[in-house]
Structure 1
Amino acid sequence: MKSLRLAALAPLLLIAACKPVVLAPAGDVAAQQRDVLVISTLLMLLIIIPVIALVIYIAWKYRASNQDAEYDPKFHHSTRLELIIWAAPLLIIICLGALTWVGTHLLDPYRPLDRISKNTPIEADYQPLRVQVVAMDWKWMFIYPEEGIATINELAVPVDRPVEFSMTATSVMNTLYIPAMAGMIYAMPAMETKLNGVLNNEGVYDGFSAHYSGHGFSHMRFKAHAMQPGDYDAWVEQVRAEGSVLDRAVYTEVERPSEAVPVTYYSTVEPGLWHAILNRCVNGTRMCMDEMMALDSLGGFESLGMMNVTEVTQKVFTRGKTPFGSAPVTVDAFCTVLDSERVYGSDQLIVAAKDSRPLRGHGLQTPGHPLTPVITLLTAPKGAQAL
């Protein structure tokens, strides 16, 4: 019997090493989120505990062996019981709703902070530390536009200085989460999301992705260092001294899927790299998305653009089937008036492929393998001109 009791308690050993990071925050935003969580839990326990106690009491009182229990087969209604049963949960739901409404707006990730800590308001002319975050497969890149540096899988911020994260992703969605600092928000390709937070206590804290993103998800972890301002300045100088140059060519290599990537420093960042990452035009072979949207808002290229279309089909697994039903198309847009004039009166031309390499991706077979996807370019419509 004793051995069975010990066996029942054995699963508790699995959580003995767990750290209650969410309940022991190091930043003001995380502390406010902790308070909302604790208050919500206590409010719900006002119903849960009495209900559990009553279930146990009723089961004990009306057990089969208790012949003295009251039995009233004609009972059908009690106004007093109805008021208790409905009024108490309704009041708790109202309180939870008010708490959620206030907390949702007060702790909005996009909302700039209005205080550094509970007793320290923010000065009117303060400037947050701006950090640009790129969620990759499977690592994190942090770009510091003010310092002109970048890191892989390491974040450092000064104590008591608000941080404004701008986030995007290279492929699938991810979620930046530093439990001791703030909440979380998704990072998505071609989108820029925001997160504001602060660390009030010096130390090293865990950061990771809270959204499953494939094979190397478990390695998407990093350390967040909260330093005194002097130590932070020294860290910046260390990155500048030990790092290399981060330009578009280097970024293209870093962007490729990889796992368990060690901490890497970049002493300088090519101007405009964040804009190119966000608008998915780092390699320079495609139009940036903000430029494309600006052209669309002006009416697009209309009929001239329609005459300069290159059809691209994919033969997936050598079966000749396109992955999404119909063949996708790409448009080589006109850049100048002379380009559009060359369309008329020209002979039919074959549009050269800009990039005819097989599709890349983690886990795909090497080029030439029978299962490797193949890209085939067809000829352009009559009158098209290669640019």
Structure 2
Amino acid sequence: MKLPHVLRWLALFYLLTLVLLTTTGCADNIIVLDPKGPIAEQQRDLMLISTVLCCLVIVPVLFLTAFIVWRYRDRKGSTAKYTPNWEHSTRLEVIWWGIPIVIIGVLAVITVQATYALEPSKPLASDEKPITIQVTSLDWKWLFQYPEQGIATVNEVKFPKGVPVRFEITADSPMNSFWIPQLGGQMYAMSGMAMTLYLQAYEQGHYWGSGANFTGKDFAKMYFNVESTTQADFEQWVKGVKATSPELTLDDYQQLAKPAASDVRTFSAFPEGLFEMTVTKYASLHNHGLSWKDIQKIQVKE
């Protein structure tokens, strides 16, 4: 008769062990909890605070559920008080409704404050002048244009550490989501729209970037390399791209925009206004049967 009792405790022990292993053993691989910039750092703190507040309700409820099931189980010799007509307790009602309401209120205030503080298009406070990088989501690759430096890259983005980066994001493909987990949350890339996202890296390093929306066959290959460098190394990299890479022409862009995965590529120049052309061909024209050449002619006239 003692064997089932022992087995129950062994099952509980193994369950707790499994939970500990899955929640602590993989912690080093959760990159959103290892921020390298001010935005990601604040977002991590918000997640941790929200988790702790939720646990103030969830953990006691789980323990009380297990305790009640164990304490009031049907067994011989039970001394539990039998009250079949009990239906109300003001004290208990206040506890299990009042505490969650207070927690939800606190969580609401924190969330509203963080929402306004972390508004994506809000410039970051810094003594450094922001660098602008235009991002275009393609099937299944990312095109980065540096309007101030006059270069472009595919599946690779570099910028100086400590310098705010103003990402202007659009799509010339199905909607996707631009995401560098260690620097900040994701931002949707949508055709006909130019979204703004400010990010910054505290230190030099290599980070992982990815599309966070499922967009078809080669979605899994739609990731990009992110590197934060010193200002001198960034300028040297720009000079190297200008000196050794080919130009990106409109014909090249049309080929690049076709659905296919791509390796890292660099370009020493790109057509002026290419990003704006990509946005406006969906935003103002809605592609009303117009060809690429028709769109180019209209853009030139404007």
TM-score by length of 1: 0.67
Instruction: Give unpaired runs (5+ residues) of structure 2.
Output: 1-6, 282-289
Higher relative contact order (CA 8 A, sep 6+): 2
Distance in 2, matches of 1:137 and 1:254, equals: 9
Give the Å deviation of 1:256.
Answer: 1.0
Give the Å deviation of 1:44.
Answer: 0.3
Give the Å deviation of 1:291.
Answer: 10
Q: What corresponds to 1:31 in structure 2?
A: 41
Provide the secondary structure at the position in 2 that maps to 1:258. Answer: coil
Q: What corresponds to 1:97 in structure 2?
A: 108
Distance in 2, matches of 1:144 and 1:102, equals: 33
The answer to whether the aligner puts 1:76 opposite 2:87 as a matched pair is yes
4+ long deviations beyond 2 Å? 8-13, 15-18, 280-284, 286-292
Q: Confirm or deny: 8 A CA contact 1:248 1:283 kept in the other structure.
A: no
The answer to whether the aligner puts 1:258 opposite 2:260 as a matched pair is yes
Distance in 2, matches of 1:274 and 1:55, equals: 57
Deviations 1:115-165 (A, max 9, x none): xxxxxxx23xx4211000010000000000000000000000100100000
| Equivalent runs, 1:283-298 vs 2, <5 Å | 283-286=292-295
Give the Å deviation of 1:290.
Answer: 8.4
Distance in 2, matches of 1:290 and 1:96, equals: 48
Give the Å deviation of 1:231.
Answer: 1.0
Distance in 2, matches of 1:81 and 1:232, equals: 62
Q: Confirm or deny: 8 A CA contact 2:179 2:185 kept in the other structure.
A: yes
Q: Confirm or deny: 8 A CA contact 2:277 2:299 kept in the other structure.
A: no
Q: What corresponds to 2:190 in structure 1?
A: 188
Distance in 2, matches of 1:69 and 1:17, equals: 43
Distance in 2, matches of 1:105 and 1:290, equals: 36
Q: What corresponds to 2:286 in structure 1?
A: none
TM-score by length of 2: 0.85
Give the Å deviation of 1:253.
Answer: 1.3
Q: Confirm or deny: 8 A CA contact 1:247 1:273 kept in the other structure.
A: no
Find 1:209's aligned residue among 202, 208, 211: 211
Structure 2: which amino acid aligns with 1:181? L
| Equivalent runs, 1:1-387 vs 2, <5 Å | 16=26, 19-65=29-75, 67-114=78-125, 122-123=126-127, 126-259=128-261, 261-280=262-281, 283-286=292-295
Give the Å deviation of 1:289.
Answer: 8.5
* Structure with the higher helix share, 1 or 2: 2
Give the Å deviation of 1:9.
Answer: 5.4
Provide the secondary structure at the position in 2 that maps to 1:68. Answer: coil
Q: How many residues align?
A: 279
Provide the secondary structure at the position in 1 that maps to 2:153. Answer: strand
Point out the structure with max Rg over C-alpha: 1
Distance in 2, matches of 1:102 and 1:187, equals: 25
Distance in 1, matches of 2:51 and 2:291, equals: 47
Distance in 1, matches of 2:82 and 2:174, equals: 62
Distance in 2, matches of 1:78 and 1:290, equals: 72
Distance in 2, matches of 1:18 and 1:212, equals: 26
- Taking a change above 3 Å as real, the CA distance of residues 210 and 288 of structure 1, as seen in their structure-2 partners, is farther
Give the Å deviation of 1:270.
Answer: 2.0
Deviations 1:171-230 (A, max 9, x none): 200100000111111111121111111011211000000011111110101110010111
Distance in 1, matches of 2:200 and 2:40, equals: 9
Give the Å deviation of 1:103.
Answer: 1.0
Distance in 1, matches of 2:265 and 2:291, equals: 20
Deviations 1:336-366 (A, max 9, x none): xxxxxxxxxxxxxxxxxxxxxxxxxxxxxxx
Distance in 2, matches of 1:48 and 1:12, equals: 19
Structure 2: which amino acid aligns with 1:108? E
Q: Confirm or deny: 8 A CA contact 1:279 1:289 kept in the other structure.
A: no
Distance in 2, matches of 1:279 and 1:93, equals: 43
